[in-house]
């Protein structure tokens, strides 16, 4: 502890006291920065929810008009483009879904993403359907 302060050597006790204050200050400002970031994200999220409630749009994506799906008899692939607002960033994502009808005639929209390994599940080809008429997806 050969540092000098005003011409005097700094004692070990002064050095430890100063070190604790510096480390405490760094910890406090780190905590303060995280708290401000967290509070700002909550405010931003509430603004997005309010804007979503005003427009009536939530996590739903328009894939087309209802009339174009009334005449389908087999599953069809429908491409879509969605604008995703995540915090302070806005991204445009492209994807697709399968649209079909259930036995009651109601529209059924299926995600092509496998829940097991997140791979994409394709529609069965005509050859596969000829071998097994009940097969819709591979």
The mean per-residue pLDDT over the stretch 24-29 comes to 96
DSSP-derived letter for residue 74 is S
Identify whether 136 is part of a domain: no
Query: What pLDDT, on the 0 to 100 scale, is given for residue 10?
Result: 84
Q: Are residues 48 and 71 in the same domain?
A: no
pLDDT above 90 (res 73): no
Which residue range forms the structural domain that includes residue 13?
4-55
Sign of the CA dihedral with 33 first, then 38, 44, and 47 last: negative
95 Cα distance to chain centroid? 14
Q: Quote the DSSP letter at residue 69.
A: G
The pLDDT value given to residue 2: 52
Residue 47 lies in a domain: yes
Is 138 part of any domain? no
pLDDT above 70 covers a percentage of the chain that reads: 86
Measured distance CA(76)–CA(60) in Å, rounded: 19
If asked whether residues 106 and 127 sit together in one domain, one would say yes
Residue 80 inside a domain? The answer is yes
DSSP state, residue 49? H
Q: What is the percent of the chain where pLDDT is above 90?
A: 22
Please state the domain count of the chain. Answer: 2
Higher pLDDT among residues 69 and 22, named by residue: 22
Predicted pLDDT at 16: 94
């Amino acid at each position: 502890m050969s540092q000098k302060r005003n011409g005097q050597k700094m004692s070990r006790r002064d050095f430890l006291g100063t070190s604790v204050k510096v480390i405490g200050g760094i910890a406090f400002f780190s905590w303060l920065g995280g708290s401000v970031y967290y509070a700002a994200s909550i405010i931003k999220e509430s603004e997005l929810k309010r804007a979503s409630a005003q427009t009536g749009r939530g996590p739903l994506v328009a894939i087309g008009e209802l009339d174009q799906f009334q005449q389908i008899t087999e599953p069809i692939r429908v491409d879509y483009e969605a604008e995703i607002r995540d915090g302070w960033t806005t991204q445009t994502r492209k994807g697709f879904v399968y649209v079909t009808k259930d036995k009651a005639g109601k529209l059924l929209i299926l995600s092509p993403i496998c829940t097991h390994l997140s791979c994409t599940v394709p529609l069965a080809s005509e050859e596969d359907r000829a071998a097994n008429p009940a097969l819709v997806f591979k």
